[in-house]
């Protein structure tokens, strides 16, 4: 089975959204540039990092909040965040309406969602989308690597990447790539 990887863009002060994030304002105030390295500011190096991530991901685990904030007006009509890649949504409540079959809603916790995603992904990686899912999985020893893309931006508030962690997590740096758009860091979680 593949690795479980949290792959997130963050501000220099550690936020993955700005203040006042919502479905109408999914990045929060002032934070839209957190993802510029994916498109408008992308260099060939940025595009290669993104391509490697997309090619190596076989399933996604995301929280209900991330699912709903990124749903958009089409209601995921075009598939999931990565087309037909299976997505396991951690939630307390099953949705009342139908969604494309790429989505599986998991009500028995993040560990179950990651286990199901690993089965679906086979030898490919499971990507964790959203800070809350990562904050639940990391203390349980379910995260193998962190891929953090730090953007030269200080938000001063919003959703902290590591806000809910209650104990130290030891990491080994395995790669750093600096581009004009972001500093891309990869860490192995030590157990």
169 within some domain:
yes
Is 77 within a domain?
no
DSSP H or E segment with residue 54: helix 44-56
Q: Is residue 80 part of a domain?
A: no
CB atoms within 10 A of CB 187: 20
> Can you give 113-160 as a three-state secondary structure string?
HHHHHHHHHCCCEEEEECHHHHHHHHHHCCCCEEEEEEECCCCCCCEE
Token pair 């919502």 is at which residue? 22
81: in domain: no
Domain of residue 10: give its range. Answer: 4-72+87-189
CB proximity list for 47: less than 8 A, separation 6 or greater: none
* pLDDT tens digits in sequence order for the chain, 191 residues long: 799 999 999 999 999 999 998 888 888 999 999 999 999 889 999 999 999 999 999 999 999 888 887 765 545 666 788 889 999 999 999 988 888 889 999 999 999 999 999 999 999 999 999 899 999 999 999 999 999 999 999 999 999 999 878 888 999 999 999 999 999 999 999 98
**Domain-located, residue 94:** yes
Overall number of domains in the chain:
1
CATH number at residue 179: 3.40.430.10
| Residue 79 is assigned to a structural domain of this protein | no
């Amino acid at each position: 089975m593949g690795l479980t990887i949290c792959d997130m863009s963050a501000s220099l002060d550690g936020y993955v959204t700005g203040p006042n994030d919502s479905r109408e304002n999914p990045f929060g105030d002032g934070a839209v540039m957190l993802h510029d390295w994916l498109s408008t500011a992308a260099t060939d190096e940025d595009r290669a990092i993104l391509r490697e991530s997309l090619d190596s991901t076989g399933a996604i685990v995301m929280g209900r909040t991330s699912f709903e904030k990124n749903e958009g007006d089409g209601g995921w009509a075009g598939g999931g965040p990565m087309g037909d890649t299976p997505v396991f949504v951690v939630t307390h409540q099953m949705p009342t309406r139908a969604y494309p079959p790429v989505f599986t809603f998991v009500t028995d916790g993040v560990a179950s969602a990651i286990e199901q995603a690993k089965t679906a992904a086979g030898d490919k990686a499971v990507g964790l989308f959203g800070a809350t899912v990562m904050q639940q999985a990391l203390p349980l020893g379910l995260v193998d690597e962190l891929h953090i893309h730090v953007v030269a931006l200080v938000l001063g508030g919003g959703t902290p990447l590591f806000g809910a962690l209650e104990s130290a997590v030891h990491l080994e740096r395995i790669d750093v790539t600096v581009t004009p758009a972001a500093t891309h860091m990869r860490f192995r979680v030590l157990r």
